[in-house]
């Protein structure tokens, strides 16, 4: 969704359009807030205007030819996505666990604390900017790593286990390391 030098979707107009449409189409994506201040928001606003202009219109092309009709498919969606996720390395169930558990915990004594997902969400923008500023890595890439960490924190039901200032500082270091790992270990993965 950004103008990134070496990313296929951003260097290929058709793929760029498809990526923009996918973000626009995603329910509850909150793209206006998420991409506020990013150049990509212009494309999303254009997409919004374009889709509003064709709302309710009859399609100009009526193509009765079926591509891969349902009756011919022998694989379930679950099988398809499991294979895709395995191929692109999306399923790392415990990839972040050890590091996340240094700052957050699921122990009963922390049950009254803010959830890790909420905490990360709250510091997301400033942390993403800081890491981008110091590393030169695109904020989009950093945001993908943050999203993975939020999802994993939710799955593990983690809560803040250290003082907020300490957590903010250590999470920034953790995010920097994990983003570098993501980039240098072939981490450009398909995020389904």
Q: Yes or no: say if 152 and 95 are a contact pair by the CB < 8 Å rule.
A: yes
Whether 68 maps to a domain, the answer reads no
Domain count, the chain: 2
Q: Are residues 172 and 101 in the same domain?
A: yes
Q: Are residues 164 and 91 in the same domain?
A: yes
pLDDT tens track for 60-116: 877 778 888 888 888 887 787 777 766 655 555 567 888 899 999 999 999 999 999
From the list 103, 98, 150, the residue with the least C-alpha distance to 124 is 150
Whether 59 maps to a domain, the answer reads no
Tokens 């509003």 locate to 52
Q: Yes or no: say if 167 and 56 are a contact pair by the CB < 8 Å rule.
A: no
d(CA 19, CA 10): 9
Q: What is the mean pLDDT of each run of 10 residues along the chain (192 residues)?
A: 46 77 87 87 93 90 81 83 65 74 94 96 95 87 89 94 95 92 56 32
Whether 61 maps to a domain, the answer reads no
Give the domain range for residue 29: 8-54
Q: Are residues 150 and 101 in the same domain?
A: yes
């Amino acid at each position: 969704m950004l103008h990134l030098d070496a990313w296929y979707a951003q260097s290929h107009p058709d793929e760029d359009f498809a990526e923009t449409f996918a973000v626009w189409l995603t329910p509850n994506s909150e793209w206006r807030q998420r991409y506020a201040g990013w150049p990509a928001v212009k494309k999303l606003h254009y997409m919004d205007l374009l889709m509003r202009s064709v709302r309710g219109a009859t399609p100009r092309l009526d193509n009765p030819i079926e591509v891969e009709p349902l009756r011919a498919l022998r694989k379930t969606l679950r099988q398809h996505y499991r294979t895709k996720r395995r191929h692109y390395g999306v399923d790392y169930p415990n990839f972040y666990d050890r590091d996340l558990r240094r700052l957050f915990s699921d122990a009963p004594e922390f049950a009254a604390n803010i959830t890790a997902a909420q905490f990360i969400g709250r510091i997301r923008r400033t942390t993403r900017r800081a890491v981008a500023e110091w590393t030169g890595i695109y904020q989009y890439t950093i945001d993908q790593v943050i999203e993975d960490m939020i999802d994993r924190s939710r799955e593990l039901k983690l809560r803040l286990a250290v003082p907020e200032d300490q957590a903010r500082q250590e999470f920034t270091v953790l995010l920097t390391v994990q983003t570098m790992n993501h980039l240098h270990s072939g981490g450009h993965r398909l995020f389904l």
